Amino acid sequence: MSYNYHITRTSIIIIIIIIIIIIIINVIINIDATSAQAGSATNNTANSKTDKYADLIATHVFMPIAAETAGSWNQEAIDAIEDIGRRISVITEEPLETIHLFQLVSVAIQRGNAVSFMSTFDGD
């Protein structure tokens, strides 16, 4: 069965309003923590991921990675990227590998967000 959805200007405005409300609620929930310490929202997200996937820790190596589009990363993610960047630098003898790796992952996050956002619109 094929579905043909027609998105009107009104429904797009409603979707945008809902997204803005969700963002505002998220900011209000995390405002106390984030105003006291930078990156605390990503650390809270990483802790939630650790709790969610607690069963995997017994059988797998699990490292929660939480990064905001604006640039905040949880400390475990920063440590992991720095470690991987150092290891690549040893092999390639390029001292800027860690910086390049951070940029690569940041751009990938932004592209993923853009694809997710654009896929919400009708292709017609």
**pLDDT tens for each residue of 40-63:** 778 888 888 888 888 888 888 888
State the Cα–Cα distance between residues 81 and 101, nearest whole angstrom.
Answer: 7
Its domain, for residue 79, covers 9-118
Domain count, the chain: 1
> Does 1 fall in a domain?
no
> Does 124 fall in a domain?
no
**Per the confidence metrics, is the pTM higher than 0.75?**
no
Looking at per-residue pLDDT, the higher value among 62 and 35 belongs to 62
- Segment 89-112 shows an average pLDDT of 88
> Does 100 fall in a domain?
yes
pLDDT tens sequence across 67-80: 776 778 888 888 98
> Does 3 fall in a domain?
no
Q: How confident is the model at residue 119 (pLDDT cuts 50, 70, 90)?
A: confident
> Does 2 fall in a domain?
no
> Does 40 fall in a domain?
yes
Identify whether the C-beta of residue 90 lies closer than 8 Å to the C-beta of residue 46: no
Amino acid letter, 61: V
